[in-house]
Structure 1
């Protein structure tokens, strides 16, 4: 009895599965939003994203940018650079908060939003895509006339902001109630600091706790007085003459051992429109990265 010619069944099946897998990979690549690739480290991120650096941008192009107040300085620098490089275009910027900006992008009322927190699964389900631009630190600050001049441990910080530690004498200072100053709940910095600094607990409430009505750093600094303690983007407070940035676990924000680190990003809704492509192409270009780096160093 002679055997039929051809591939053995097991080889035929394996080959079919391989071809099917290749076809799915190609389909998946063509139908998946391009994801940012971010380098690690403590210095400015050299982000690589799937946006081409524009050589020209049509006159009359308008890109609307909103979101986190911690992104204001980067928004302004990139707006100026973008408009100077491409005459006749406009970048309209208005800061609110990370959550408000994400809602506006999802609704299509703005094109891009700055965020100071990670995207949630719900954010991603709405088609939102983050483009990380820089590593950032959250500073813990007190008023310059606060009698407490030592540093804190991260455990002490957590207990202060959860309300377990209520008096400066409990951390080695004078007997004076501690007054934690909190940003609004929709603030990205508020949410990031809860994730990074509160050890999976919630912020305290009542008593000496004060919650700001809007997400802005200036009102927070003004509210500190001689007994308050708050948190803010380091770049916004490093050169402030009215406050003192505290060392945490023996490290100040410019040092590698500092514990409160996060990533700032721009977010758009997939698929990006032409204005988004142009602005993020400029932002992730060599020129855009230099502007971001300059702002991070001008603390």
Structure 2
């Protein structure tokens, strides 16, 4: 597909809007609880912006197979709930105070409330899956949440560890991000009654897109402005997280450069080192390297769904893959 034939993000959102409105309504409805704090904190985080890319994948994937029922809305909602719960827990673990340009839930409501409401949202996601009456989707979701938890623990182990390998880093990306993108595509294909080949295609699409998406996020941590990014630039370095741009720069830098990056990873919290690190990355084209990896994954996502029937929804999925690596936020 030629670049001029791709859909813009506005066109994709317009196409998906009827379904996404239902998803958003369902999200708000499912946050209702007799415990006021659950609703207050839940509404705070879901109304805090966000790209809603996981539920968008789910509704587009189902529509690409001709599905018009409501189960795709349920799929989109439970996937977004797993993501939302993981964000609540992430921000506590990372001691983050800013996300999407405003205070994190833990800085507004406290760590205990964020963890417990995150637990509530996780369990609500399982209730939603139960409504689908599909043991296969239940198994997929259970596995995904387990993999996500493993990814969180592995990332915790990687913090302040400059010996983290690129392969290890890519496993964390799969576990923490790409696996849930996979679920969005695969679960949508299942409720839509897709063939095994179609299910595999949309699962692969999600995995590759999720990988590309996270790689771009890691590049933007060093290249975007804080307002566009919605968090502080250089947060990964300040938190001692060895992401792909850092690992590449350390591997290709001279002994002095490698030692500086190693120390920055080991100690964390050293925002004063960011300018030197950025200069090293620029010298060795580390951000270009990571971005090129992201573009390769996005192309794999597009290739994965080549066998799907042509439609505006397939076109939207293809366009979304390319747009995921052409953004500044």
Q: TM (normalized to structure 1)?
A: 0.25
The structure that has the greater radius of gyration is 1
Higher helix share: 2
Which one scores higher on RCO, CA 8 angstroms, separation ≥ 6?
A: 1
Q: TM (normalized to structure 2)?
A: 0.23
